[in-house]
A and B are shown apart, each in its own frame.
Chain A
Amino acid sequence: MNIKEWIFTTDHKRVGILYLIGSITAFAVAGVMALLMRAELSTIGPTITSNPSNYNVWLYAHGAVMILGFQIPALTGFFANYCIPLMIGAKDVAFPRVNALSVWLFYVGIILAVLTFFIPDPPDVMWTGYPPYSTISTGNTALYTFTVLILGFASIIGGVNFLTTVAYMRAPGLKWGKLNIFVWCTLGAFVLQLIFVPVLGTAVTLISFDKYLGTHFFDPAAGGDVLTYQNLFWFYSHPAVYVIFLPFIGVIYEIVTTFAKNPPFNYKMVVYGGIFGIVGLSGEVWVHHLYTSGMADWIRIGMMVTTLMISVPVGLMVIGLAGTLYKGSITFETPMLYALGVMFLFLIGGLTGIPLAVTSLTVHLSRSYYVVGHFHYVMAVAGTFAIFAGVYYWFPKMTGRMYNERWGKIGFWITFIGTNIVFWTMMDIGVKGMPRRYYDYSHMSQFEGAHQLMTIGAIILGIGFVIALINWIVGAIKGPKAGENPWGSKSLEWTTVSPPPHGNWPSPPVLEEGWSPYAYRRA
């Protein structure tokens, strides 16, 4: 294997795999941070560090790296790059060199993010970076700002690239109404990135101006306003939840249709009701992150209604998944187990979000462990399970080899059990009054047992992920040959050899009359 060939590659599949390697590395780093935090919280008072700043830096890094370095790049970088050209029957993306630039920028971004640990005074401002603390903290937030700007730019050029690719490079005869659900979902996610990333860029840039250049955007003493930042930040970061949600539910649709051997239930409902509905509503709900931040009363009521309405398109997408199982011929290989795990975790996460939409309930619930448990269920672990489901699913396509099915299933069950121990307990003590972002809970000693349970759960969860990672590495090196279509899927990416050569097919695939990526139904 030639390293230089990989670094300077313009092949969308190699770019995708580079994204995957980078984001899984980021996942490992951020996962270690989570374990350090759980270790610290396993007893009241100082446990593994006596300096609360260390804990705050781990907490900052866990959030920022998991979201910006792992989930968004894995979902919109790896899956989009690897799958979209294959799914639409294209040789590559529209702008392969721009694609290579975006993965380079991504690596610069995560290197900068990791460097923040080696500079004096790493940032301890949480991934949200709310002023005034983020502008008066001694932590150096400049690298965070640059990381966000660089990753954001990488994401924007990726978005332009993929919108163009899908619009102009579909195989002859592949109509919009026949696209894979995953392709639609990713298009939705990139539309959101193109609209909202600049807002986040603005917010973090203004923070750096305030901190390093002496401006006063968020300084009330000079006529600024602290709430403006929170609005700008969540105006991006709530849609970012859908940037994560849409591709991951798209991956789950691909897997569930393949393993149930059914077309998606009510395709048009899923695309026009579900995906379009989410994209349309995503920008009108951000104030639910600010329900107890001192926003005006009237906007809390308006945003309560729009936030609750998100349950409509999301509900349609869940109905689509459940309906796909109806009269299927269902098998339960590892990708399907992870996909069903996502459906279960997402069901809990989505429903526990409903109380958080109600402004009067958040007066007690917000900023508690309940919120942390909820968003881990709905987006963090559901998203991570979906990424693992997708990697297992396309593993034979990427490597041409098969992972170990038995260890795949063992890894799934261990992770699944650990996850539920940690995050169910988290929601429970949150309702009882445990605030988030606490290094110590000495004035709330009644929660010590729950914290110890969560630490054990986190270790279990971590072991499950390590088993999956080892399974991939071993499978990629010496797994048995997989063949081009081990799952019997009808989607286009399975019609070429595994792994596909540069250019994907010797000649563009020809679609027969009545072709569909989900044509399982017997004629």
Chain B
Amino acid sequence: MLRRIGASLSLAALSWHAAAADYPAAAAARAIKDPAAGWDHLWHEVLIDITIIGVIFALVMTYFLIRYRRKPGDPKTGSAPKLSPAAAVAWVVIPVFVFLADDLYIAANGWALWNNFRDVPADRMEVRLESGMYSWDYTYPNGVRTQNELRVPAGKAVMLRMTSRDTLHSHWIPDFRVKEDSMPGRITYMWFLPKQPGEHIVTCGAYCGIMHSYMAGKVIVLPAEEFKTWLDQEAARQGVAGKTA
């Protein structure tokens, strides 16, 4: 256990260092790590961790409740032994050590994944997002605009730079395990890696007003060629063809 903790701590430190040192120039050289896959992995790991702790506590308490229930004829006082000073201290130090070790282990893994979430690949498509009551308005690098529909090419990282023109909104794509608030006066970002063509729901996470629950959209992942065709057509249709993609 300790070795694993040490390993993940140094792993976290390393990836932190890497992210700080070569972002974004050399990032493209490394293989892109998909945060969504990392999310699923860490989620299962933490789920196993908390299930084990929960089951241990529940079993111990259930055993005590059955074993020490008062039966007819039993004395009407408990007989818990008095803790010696050494035992009293040990009952603090050992649990603290175990809990802290587990906390730091989870924190180190969480940190490593977090670096993954903010290490945006250099080879990416950047789309600007302005949210408003109640729509998601996207602007592509070539000036094409869409509403509530984000078309992206499969296999390429997509980064959103987000702001809001009125209240808080939160661009959540559950399938890509990613969300971040957008708000007036600040620019926030998120990125995700669409792998296969398909459709994914975008839904608003932050309460933004009366029609909050109807603020939904779609991410439509297209094969790369098809996406390019669509973007060119759309640029011509919207009269923004002069700009390069």
Contact = CB atoms under 8 A, between A and B. Distances in A.
A316 B96 contact: yes
Contact of B83 (A266, A273, A300, A331): A266
A443 B203 contact: yes
Contacts of A521: 77-80, 82
Interface in B89-127: 91-92, 95-96, 99-100, 102-104, 106-107, 109-111, 113-114, 116-118
B60 A444 contact: no
A221 B213 CA distance: 27
Given A330-B69, A437-B212, A297 B118 contact: yes
Interface in B179-215: 179-186, 188, 201, 203-214
Nearest to B108: A305
Interface of B: 35, 38-39, 42-43, 46-47, 49-51, 53-54, 57-58, 60-61, 64-65, 68-70, 74-83, 88, 91-92, 95-96, 99-100, 102-104, 106-107, 109-111, 113-114, 116-118, 166-168, 170, 172, 174-175, 177-186, 188, 201, 203-214, 216
Given A137-B209, A319-B95, A364-B177, A355 B68 contact: no
B168 A326 contact: no
B58 A344 contact: yes
A367 interface: yes
B167 to A, nearest CB: 4
A308 B108 CA distance: 11
A29 interface: no
B114 A359 contact: yes
Contacts of B107: 304-305, 308, 358
A316 B201 contact: no
B205 A443 contact: no
A368 B201 contact: no
B108 to A, nearest CB: 10
A388 to B, nearest CB: 20
Contacts of B54: 347-348, 351
A297 B174 CA distance: 21
Contacts of B78: 260-262, 327-329, 520-521
Interface in A343-362: 343-344, 347-348, 351-352, 354-355, 357-361
Nearest to A260: B78
Contacts of A209: none
Contact of A316 (B64, B95, B172): B95
B177 A363 contact: yes
10 contacts: A261-B77, A292-B179, A301-B111, A305-B103, A312-B100, A322-B64, A323-B91, A330-B70, A351-B54, A364-B178
B169 to A, nearest CB: 10
A499 interface: no
Q: A interface, by DSSP: helix, strand, loop or mixed? A: helix
B129 to A, nearest CB: 13
A364 B65 contact: no
A124 B210 contact: yes
A354 B106 contact: yes
Task: Tell which of A126, A357, A363, A440 has the most Cβ of chain B within 10 Å.
Answer: A363
Given A263-B80, A360-B35, A444-B203, 19 more contacts: A52-B213, A124-B210, A133-B209, A220-B186, A221-B185, A260-B78, A265-B80, A292-B179, A305-B104, A318-B57, A324-B80, A325-B61, A326-B68, A327-B79, A361-B39, A361-B43, A367-B205, A444-B201, A522-B75
A437 B207 contact: yes
Nearest to A343: B61
Contacts of A220: 183-186
Nearest to B109: A358
Interface of A: 52-53, 56, 124, 126, 130, 132-133, 136-137, 220-221, 224-227, 260-263, 265-266, 268-269, 273, 292-294, 297, 300-301, 304-305, 308-309, 311-312, 315-316, 318-319, 322-332, 340, 343-344, 347-348, 351-352, 354-355, 357-361, 363-364, 366-368, 431-433, 435-444, 488, 520-522
Contacts of A438: 212-213
A238 to B, nearest CB: 18
Contacts of A319: 91, 95
Contacts of B38: 360
A431 B177 CA distance: 10
B213 A326 contact: no
A442 B109 CA distance: 36
A358 B167 CA distance: 26
B212 A439 contact: yes
B104 to A, nearest CB: 8
A226 B69 contact: no
Contacts of A439: 212-213
Contacts of B183: 132, 220, 226-227, 293-294
Given A311-B103, A316-B95, A132 B50 contact: no
A323 B90 CA distance: 14
Task: Tell which of B109, B184, B213 has the most Cβ of chain A within 10 Å.
Answer: B213
Given A266-B91, A329-B75, A433 B209 contact: no
Contacts of B177: 363-364
A136 B166 contact: yes
Nearest to B188: A294
A133 B179 contact: no
A226 B184 contact: yes
Nearest to B71: A329
Nearest to B214: A440
A412 to B, nearest CB: 15
Nearest to A139: B210
Contacts of B43: 355, 361, 364, 431
Contacts of B100: 309, 312
B210 A367 contact: no
B76 A132 contact: no
Given A324-B80, A360-B39, A329 B210 contact: no
B106 to A, nearest CB: 6
A443 B104 CA distance: 39
A437 B167 CA distance: 15
A309 to B, nearest CB: 6
Contacts of A323: 80, 91
